[in-house]
């Protein structure tokens, strides 16, 4: 045990003194969160709408002013030619041409006044939304004018009383993603380098057993993983007002299991890479699909059915699901037991795979 | 009647601390080491000489327990290397040819880390002092020069106070000063009574450090003896080389004292002699008497090249 303890301490020292690794581990979570937090997925979308309305009478002008007050519309009125040019360039969702006498005294249903909507083929979705909003507003205006009684009202009540935002959904995904990246790449690179440079060979010449060295490295990286998760949580909660509901102990448990899974994967990649150069190629091959299918940025449920089955079995999915359940829903041990089981199974599989593919010795080749 | 024991006699046998018996290593069809045998006595310094590819490093690594043995056996300190590999590692120290240490630790930490692998505690500073690296105690490995790295390697190889120290090409790539320093270090280690086994392709190194040498070529041992005996037995003598624009008949040169062979390549002459001083004396007299200008005069000692060529019939370096 004394050997493993000394090795672990030395390993931690080596990691802490590696400026590059340190920067990557501490700064990248902040960077990622900064980007996602600031992109602000929750902010309502605004549509840029151009209005062409010349010589409008008083009522029509009032109508146009109302349009300008819509929070979802960003109205510009720079003259017909300018607006149509901007539309062509893709800077407008739609351009509305409103006749000067849209609303006039004695409007009668006979000949409806026409609002022409110019759209850009490349922005169909946005244009449709603008048209839809416009139609709604016109219907309402029509009803007001004919003074029809309001028969219905709609009240929106949010069931999600916790007031969760997309960022709350995202944070557990980012944590699990970050742990995966660090565990796989850090181990794979370092050990592929050790092998290439002959560091492992020198170690083999001593009575130290390989598992002692591996254990020291695993413990080091587990601690770093927990530390990284802590940074994510601290910054996420303090700077971006994320809500963490569940128990921190369970979060730590998930992070530990997740780290173990991906450390096993890291060692496997290291074993499969003949040279240090091939590490990113092999690692990315495995990690990249999981980035998108692992339930980090969007829910697995949003995927087509045939893909869902596959995605649900990925190690990252079990990890991010468990973490998300704990952080956003306050799930207890019982609630996440299937995800935890999935992680344990994956951890065992990957560790066994690692022992098969990775060895301290070079293959016996001439 | 009680017989008092007046004295006791202890009989020491010269024990071979390493016995290599018919050792071989095969990679598929390729034989890297072909059934070699030799013994290393306790306390001696044993050298394996040979060109690259001869099988020196493979031999060494099999004895160290780093490479699997294809055939034969190695008994080290009474233990069978193949069967008791782990036990063997505790009593040996190694300096490998192509290997590195961790980055991120200073020398003291590095030595302590390696010591822990033997479940030992050592005085790291003392060890660094022995190899004259105490000033670099707080530096990292990457800040060391080539010679310093080799000295560090040896220090790490000594953390467990091993009975046998293995050095694989310890001075390859070092400048002359660094080489000398390393030789001094090895002499210090020898003085402690440790057994040293080294590989090299430098003749002078073998002469200075080794008690006996095995010459290896193409997976086999072609000679095994002390340096002196090797030189004498293979009959390779020093050569006097010089250049002169005046043609000298070879027969004249043949008659100089000690000369056994004369070779000429355009303006260059090569005289093999077993009495270099007499030959030179005679050559100078010849030059003075006949007003011949002798240029680029060199006295070349027998090198491994010559020994090797004699033993194997081909060049040491391709």
Check pLDDT > 90 for residue B158.
Answer: yes
Question: Are B49 and B179 contained in the same domain?
Answer: yes
Closest Cβ opposite residue B90 in set A18, A198, A207: A207
Show residues of chain B in contact with A17, CB under 8 Å: 104
Check pLDDT > 80 for residue B279.
Answer: yes
Given this model, what pLDDT does residue A44 score? 64
Question: Are B241 and B226 contained in the same domain?
Answer: no
* Cβ–Cβ gap A17/B104 under 8 Å: yes
Question: Are B83 and B213 contained in the same domain?
Answer: yes
pLDDT digits (tens, 9 = 90+) for B119-136: 988 999 999 999 999 999
Of the pLDDT bands very low, low, confident and very high (cuts 50, 70, 90), residue B197 is very high
User: Which CATH number fits the domain that encloses residue B244?
Assistant: 3.30.70.980
Question: Are B190 and B296 contained in the same domain?
Answer: no
Q: Give the pTM.
A: 0.75
- Give a yes or no: residue B144 inside a domain: yes
- Give a yes or no: residue B141 inside a domain: yes
- Give a yes or no: residue B32 inside a domain: yes
Check if B308 contacts A (Cβ < 8 Å).
no
Question: Are B130 and B187 contained in the same domain?
Answer: yes
The average pLDDT across A7-29 equals 84
Given this model, what pLDDT does residue A105 score? 63
Of the pLDDT bands very low, low, confident and very high (cuts 50, 70, 90), residue B6 is low
Given this model, what pLDDT does residue B10 score? 42
The average pLDDT across B72-79 equals 94
Question: Are B173 and B257 contained in the same domain?
Answer: no
Given this model, what pLDDT does residue B84 score? 94
Domain ranges of chain A: 15-40+165-357, 47-145
C-alpha–C-alpha distance, residues A320 and A171, integer Å = 10
- Give a yes or no: residue B201 inside a domain: yes
* Cβ–Cβ gap B30/A15 under 8 Å: no
Closest residue of chain B to A8, computed from CA coordinates = B113
Show residues of chain A in contact with B197, CB under 8 Å: none
Given this model, what pLDDT does residue A257 score? 93
Check if B103 contacts A (Cβ < 8 Å).
yes
Check if A20 contacts B (Cβ < 8 Å).
no
- Give a yes or no: residue B317 inside a domain: no
| ipTM here | 0.79
Check if B66 contacts A (Cβ < 8 Å).
yes
Question: Are B55 and B172 contained in the same domain?
Answer: yes
CATH architecture, domain A47-145: 3-Layer(aba) Sandwich (3.40)
Closest residue of chain B to A18, computed from CA coordinates = B104
Of the pLDDT bands very low, low, confident and very high (cuts 50, 70, 90), residue B57 is very high
* Cβ–Cβ gap A201/B96 under 8 Å: yes
Question: Are B229 and B285 contained in the same domain?
Answer: no
Residue B39 is given by DSSP the state E
Domain end, chosen from B215, B233, B251, is at: B233
Check pLDDT > 90 for residue B48.
Answer: yes
Check pLDDT > 60 for residue A293.
Answer: yes
- Give a yes or no: residue B99 inside a domain: yes
Check if B117 contacts A (Cβ < 8 Å).
yes
Given this model, what pLDDT does residue A306 score? 85
Count how many domains chain B has: 2
Question: Are B146 and B209 contained in the same domain?
Answer: yes
- Give a yes or no: residue B6 inside a domain: no
Check if B219 contacts A (Cβ < 8 Å).
no
User: Which CATH number fits the domain that encloses residue B119?
Assistant: 3.40.50.300
Given this model, what pLDDT does residue B8 score? 47
pLDDT digits (tens, 9 = 90+) for B161-194: 999 999 999 998 899 899 999 999 999 999 999 9
pLDDT > 70 in chain A, percent: 94
Check if B89 contacts A (Cβ < 8 Å).
yes
Question: Are B150 and B274 contained in the same domain?
Answer: no
- Give a yes or no: residue B310 inside a domain: no
Check if A22 contacts B (Cβ < 8 Å).
no
Question: Are B242 and B127 contained in the same domain?
Answer: no
* Cβ–Cβ gap A3/B116 under 8 Å: yes
Check if B100 contacts A (Cβ < 8 Å).
yes
Which domain range does residue B132 map to? Answer: 16-233
Show residues of chain B in contact with A201, CB under 8 Å: 66, 96, 99
* Cβ–Cβ gap B113/A198 under 8 Å: no
Question: Are B265 and B138 contained in the same domain?
Answer: no
């Amino acid at each position: 045990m004394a050997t493993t303890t000394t090795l672990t301490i030395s390993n931690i020292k080596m990691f802490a003194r590696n400026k590059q690794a340190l920067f990557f581990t501490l700064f990248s979570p902040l960077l990622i969160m900064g980007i996602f937090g600031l992109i602000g997925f929750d902010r309502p979308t605004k549509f840029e709408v151009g209005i062409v309305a010349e010589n409008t009478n008083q009522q029509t002008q009032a109508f146009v002013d109302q349009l300008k007050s819509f929070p979802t519309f960003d109205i510009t009125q720079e003259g017909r030619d300018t607006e149509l040019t901007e539309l062509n360039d893709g800077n407008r969702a739609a351009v509305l041409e409103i006749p000067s006498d849209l609303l006039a005294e004695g409007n009668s249903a006979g000949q409806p006044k026409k609002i022409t909507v110019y759209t850009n083929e490349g922005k169909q979705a946005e244009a449709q939304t603008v048209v839809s909003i416009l139609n709604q507003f016109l219907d309402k205006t029509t009803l007001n004018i004919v003074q029809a009684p309001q028969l219905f009202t709609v009240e929106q009540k949010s069931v999600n009383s916790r007031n969760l935002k997309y960022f709350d959904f995202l944070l557990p995904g980012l944590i699990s993603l970050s742990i995966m990246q660090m565990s796989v790449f850090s181990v794979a690179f370092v050990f592929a380098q050790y092998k290439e440079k002959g560091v492992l060979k020198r170690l083999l010449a001593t009575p130290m057993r390989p598992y002692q060295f591996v254990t020291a490295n695993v413990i080091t990286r587990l601690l770093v993983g927990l530390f990284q998760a802590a940074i994510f949580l601290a910054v996420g909660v303090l700077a971006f007002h994320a809500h963490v509901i569940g128990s921190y102990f369970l979060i730590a448990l998930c992070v530990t299991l997740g780290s173990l899974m991906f450390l096993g994967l890291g060692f496997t990649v290291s074993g499969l890479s003949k040279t240090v150069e091939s590490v990113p190629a092999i690692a990315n091959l495995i990690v990249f699909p999981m980035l998108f299918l692992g339930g980090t940025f969007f829910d697995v449920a949003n995927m087509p059915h045939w893909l869902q089955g596959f995605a649900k079995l990925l190690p990252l999915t079990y990890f991010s699901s468990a973490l998300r359940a704990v952080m956003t829903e306050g799930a207890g041990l019982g609630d996440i037991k299937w995800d935890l089981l999935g992680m344990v199974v994956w951890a065992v599989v990957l560790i066994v795979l690692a022992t098969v593919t990775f060895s301290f010795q070079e293959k016996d080749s001439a | 009647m009680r017989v008092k024991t007046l004295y006791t006699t202890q009989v020491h046998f010269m024990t071979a601390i390493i016995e290599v018996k018919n050792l071989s290593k095969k990679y598929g069809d390729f034989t890297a080491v072909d059934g070699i045998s030799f013994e290393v006595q306790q306390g001696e310094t044993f050298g394996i000489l040979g060109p690259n590819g001869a099988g020196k490093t493979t031999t060494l690594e099999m004895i160290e327990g780093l490479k699997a043995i294809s055939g034969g056996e190695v008994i080290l300190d009474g233990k069978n290397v193949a069967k008791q590999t782990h036990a063997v590692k505790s009593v040996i120290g190694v300096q490998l040819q192509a290997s590195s240490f961790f980055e991120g630790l200073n020398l003291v930490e590095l030595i302590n880390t390696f010591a822990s692998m033997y479940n030992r505690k050592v005085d790291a500073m003392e060890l660094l002092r022995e190899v004259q690296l105490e000033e670099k105690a707080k530096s990292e490995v990457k800040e060391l020069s080539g010679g310093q790295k080799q000295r560090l390697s040896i220090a790490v190889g000594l953390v467990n106070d091993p009975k046998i120290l293995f050095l694989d090409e310890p001075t390859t790539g070092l400048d002359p000063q660094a080489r000398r320093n390393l030789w001094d270090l090895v002499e210090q280690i020898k003085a402690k009574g440790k057994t040293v086994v080294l590989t090299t392709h430098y003749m002078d190194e073998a002469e200075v450090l080794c008690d006996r040498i095995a010459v290896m070529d193409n997976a086999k041992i072609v000679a095994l003896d002390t340096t002196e005996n090797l030189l004498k037995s293979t009959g390779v003598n020093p050569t006097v080389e010089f250049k002169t624009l005046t043609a000298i008949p070879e027969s004249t040169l043949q008659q100089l004292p000690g000369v056994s062979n004369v070779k000429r390549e355009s303006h260059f002459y090569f005289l093999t002699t077993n009495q270099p001083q007499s030959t030179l004396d005679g050559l100078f007299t010849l030059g003075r008497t006949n007003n011949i200008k002798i240029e680029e005069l060199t006295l070349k000692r027998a090198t491994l090249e010559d020994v090797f060529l004699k033993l194997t019939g081909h060049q040491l370096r391709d």
